[in-house]
Amino acid sequence: MILEKERNWYGMPIVMAMALLAAGAADGVILKPVANMYSRPSEEADVVSQAIYASHIGILEERSGWARVRTIDEYTGWMQAADFKRQEPGGRAYGSSGRVAQVNSLFANVYREASVTRHQPLLTVPFGTTLEGTQEVDAAERWIEVRLPDDRRAWVLRGDINLDPKPMSLEEVIALSKRFLGLPYFWGGTSSFGFDCSGFTQMLCRRRGIGIPRDASLQAKWAGAAPVERNDLQAGDLLFFGESKITHTGMYIGGGKFINATTHDRPAVQISDLADPYWTKRFIAARRLK
């Protein structure tokens, strides 16, 4: 049976998510598999973050086909207006029906009918995307019907989704992290199409049910984590690196290793050795989630 709790892609109740996006901001829902957020309203600007399909944003300002938006982690940036759909004030928010199908494959194809051969997928969405189910289903069924944010009906394979998403244990999160090995590094990336360092650790913490800030420097300062000495590291601790300031983060997985999205050696999610001189020289701090 599809989960009856109302949740969005962060795994928090949709009511709570909407409250975080309040304070005068109109609500929108993302229509692209991954929507870039820019530092200014131009594709020539740098990407500061991303929002994934069907997630909610607050619309703070609109200008000539662009909007300054805020994501649920309180990050702001400029997004093309075509990348999201404005939701009517007082209307039912997407994903608030209580029927949730959360993508647990690295990527999931969404089809116009319950067939992989009749037509090409309507779109491919990343890990963590939350889709709104249209009916109660038996978990043994092969196909699940969903309603998309643009109101189209579509189908996803049961094997690509989790009908009962729950916070993971630390051991489960470490195992999950290794599924992303080899995925590309992308500056500002927050999805399985490409992560940056802090987007990756933020996603892993979110799977534990813990929402941490977006940037590495803010994660290191966050009050929800306590300092840890390097010789006292435990699996799950967040590690922070840089030269004059913190510019990189990863998650310690034990045995002197940590997993991170980095451009060192190659631009990809990879397991690195804390004893590597490159990382030893740049190590600044470690934090343990409270």
Q: What is the CATH number of the domain that holds 220?
A: 3.90.1720.10
Question: Is the pLDDT higher at 50 or at 133?
Answer: 50
Average pLDDT over residues 135-151: 84
- Phi, psi for 109 (deg, rounded to 5): -80, 140
Categorize the per-residue pLDDT at 199 as very low, low, confident or very high, splitting at 50, 70 and 90.
very high
Domain shared by 115 and 250, yes or no: no
For residue 11, what pLDDT is reported? Answer: 44
Same domain assignment for residues 205 and 149: no
Which of 134, 166, 198 corresponds to the end of one domain?
A: 166
Examine the domain organization and report whether 5 and 145 are in the same domain.
yes
Strand order in the sheet with 246-254: 225-227, 283-289, 238-242, 246-254, 257-262, 268-273
- Boundary of a domain, candidates 112, 133, 166: 166
Could you report the per-residue pLDDT of 242-278, keeping only the tens digit for each? Answer: 999 999 999 999 999 999 999 999 999 999 999 999 9
The CATH number for 85's domain is 2.30.30.40
Q: Please tell me the distance from the alpha carbon of residue 8 to that of residue 92, in angstroms, as a whole number.
A: 13
| DSSP, residue by residue, 74-95 | S-EEEEEGGGEEEPPTTSPPTT
Q: What is the mean pLDDT of residues 225-235?
A: 97
Q: Is the pLDDT of residue 3 over 90?
A: no
Whether the predicted pLDDT of 20 surpasses 60:
no
Q: Are residues 140 and 252 in the same domain?
A: no
Looking at the fold, whether 88 and 31 belong to one and the same domain comes out as: yes
Judgement on whether residues 116 and 91 belong to the same structural domain of the protein: yes
Q: Are residues 156 and 190 in the same domain?
A: no
Q: Assess whether 249 and 197 both reside in one domain.
A: yes
Mean pLDDT, residues 150-161 taken together: 95
Q: Could you tell me the CA-to-CA distances from 27 to 89, 108, 194, 224 in Å, in that order?
A: 8, 25, 26, 28
Q: How far, in Å, CA of 38 to CA of 139, rounded?
A: 40
DSSP β-bridge partners for residue 146? 133, 154
Query: For residue 21, what are the CA distances in angstroms to 29, 96, 122?
Result: 12, 15, 29
Mark whether 155 and 176 lie in a shared domain: no
- Asked whether residue 23 falls in the same domain as residue 150, the answer is yes
Distance CA 28, CA 56 (A): 6
User: What pLDDT was estimated at residue 135?
Assistant: 74
Half-sphere exposure (Cβ direction) of 117: Cα atoms closer than 13 Å: 0
3-state secondary structure of 169: coil
- Unique residue bearing structure tokens 């840089």: 242
Give me the domain span that covers residue 149: 1-166
Shared domain for 38 and 127, answered yes or no, is yes
- DSSP assigned state of 187: T
Are 58 and 125 within one domain? yes
Give the domain-ending residue among 166, 187, 203.
Answer: 166
Confidence of residue 9 (pLDDT cuts 50, 70, 90): very low
Report how many domains make up the chain: 2
